[in-house]
Amino acid sequence: MDAKRLIAKRAAGIEASGIRKIFDLAATLKDPVNLSIGQPDFDVPEPVKDAACEAIRSGFNRYTPSAGIPELKDAILSRFAERHGVHPEACVVTAGVSGALTLALLALVEPGDEVLMPDPFFVSYKHLTTMCGGTPVFYDTYPDFRLDVARVEAKLTPKTKAILAMSPGNPTGMCIDVKAAKALGELARKRGVAVISDEIYELFVYGAKAQSLLSHYPEGTLSLGGLSKTASMTGWRVGWALGPSAWIEQLAKLQQFTFVCAPSFAQKAALAAFGADLSAAVPEYKVKRDTMVAGLRKAGYEVAEPDGAFYLFVKVPAKYKSGQVFVEEAARRELLMVPGNVFSARDTHFRISYAAPDEKLARGLEILRALSS
């Protein structure tokens, strides 16, 4: 039997993540300068580890309610209200923000619906939309990677069902300012479309606090968040979606038949994470950002200074044909980064993660200087 013949088009049409390919390459090198990984270089806080161990040892290892344990949902809603001044109607705890995004698109997108998303975009946006039967439509944010609501409006059609946005963004690190957030909410309300706001990096902001899009359009926005980045709990898979109760009910129902529930012990640990100071690393990451931006600009690179997250989306030097070519040459010198075509229809940039020890960042800058000369 030809096994490939039976593979569904929704799977066959998706290429393996370019980021995953870099991970695989990293495993073959002895001591690479790995600036490709999108996760913090600090560990999970000790009180969070203790809470997880206590939950496991006390027997909290079975299924939880599909929407999450009540005390965690209450804590998430209260925390959001304190930070943003708006109390969302309902909450569902998910298997990471990726789980929340999958459920959101399954609940809202019909075959043939269009979903607007930024270019550059996070890698899963396009593929998850396609898997759910939707059509990705991109609104351009080059060259400064700022949200221009006029560009979004120009892409709206009668088929538009939802607008995807991220603040701070991956791979650019840019935030949506208050003026743009308010204008986007007004546009979505006027046109009767949903907003899905990915806010996984919300604490990694180096200027004014990032404001949720739900604050401006609460009746039509799903705010997605989690602890993978802020508490370094990438492998624990705890995320959430906040928004209108009618939508959250659908996400919870779909979770019953897909992920079932977020990991039980990790939900207990998440409660402890809310009691810890998760902002302690932010000043350190700001220093890393400033050092890398200054070093890259001194070496002749064109880079927009990000507002948050821990990424730089850097333009490839003119002597290289593409981001892919540049990243492959860097890999030959044992510097691992991600080509911009993973995140964009263009192949003019590359992404650096500065969530790495200072020694690695210094070595990375040394290699990048050599590549640009």
Where do we find the tokens 């220093």?
287
Residue 185 and residue 193: Cα distance in Å, rounded? 10
Strands 160-166 and 114-119: parallel
pLDDT (tens digit per residue) in 155-195 = 999 999 999 999 999 999 999 999 999 999 999 999 999 99
The HSE-up count of residue 212 (CA atoms within 13 Å, CB side) is 30
What is residue 44's three-state secondary structure? coil
Query: Tell me: the pLDDT tens digits for 305-346?
Result: 999 999 999 999 999 989 999 998 999 899 999 999 999 999
Contact call for residues 99 and 237 (beta carbons, < 8 A): yes
pLDDT for res 91 = 98
Residue range 104-113: mean pLDDT, rounded? 96
The answer, yes or no, to whether residue 43 has pLDDT greater than 80, is: yes
Mean pLDDT, residues 209-229: 93
Would you say domain 46-274 falls under CATH 3.60.15.10?
no
Per-residue pLDDT reduced to its tens digit, 91-105: 999 999 999 999 999
User: Residue 238 and residue 226: Cα distance in Å, rounded?
Assistant: 6
- Give the H/E segment covering residue 328: helix 323-332
pTM of the model: 0.93
Output the furthest CA–CA distance in the chain (Å, rounded). 60
- Exposure string of 255-288, with b = 16+ CB inside 10 Å and e = fewer, is beeebebbbbbbbbbbbbbeebebeebeeebbeb
**pLDDT per residue over 245-280, tens digit each?**
999 999 999 999 999 999 999 999 999 999 887 778
Spans of all domains in the chain = 3-43+280-372, 46-274
Q: What percent of the chain has pLDDT over 90?
A: 83
* Single-letter residue type at 324: Q
Across the strands, what pairs with 333? none
Q: What does the DSSP 8-state code read for residue 241?
A: E
- Strands, E assignment, the chain: 33-34, 90-94, 114-119, 135-140, 160-166, 194-198, 221-226, 239-243, 311-315, 335-336, 338-339, 349-353
Q: Inform me whether the pLDDT recorded for 25 exceeds 90.
A: no
Question: Is residue 50's pLDDT more than 90?
Answer: yes
Same fold, 3-43+280-372 and 46-274: no
Taking phi over 0 as left and psi of -120 to 50 as alpha, with beta for the rest, 232 belongs to left
Query: Which CATH number does 3-43+280-372 carry?
Result: 3.90.1150.10
271-285 residue pLDDT tens: 999 988 777 889 999
**Is pLDDT at 72 greater than 80 in this prediction?**
yes
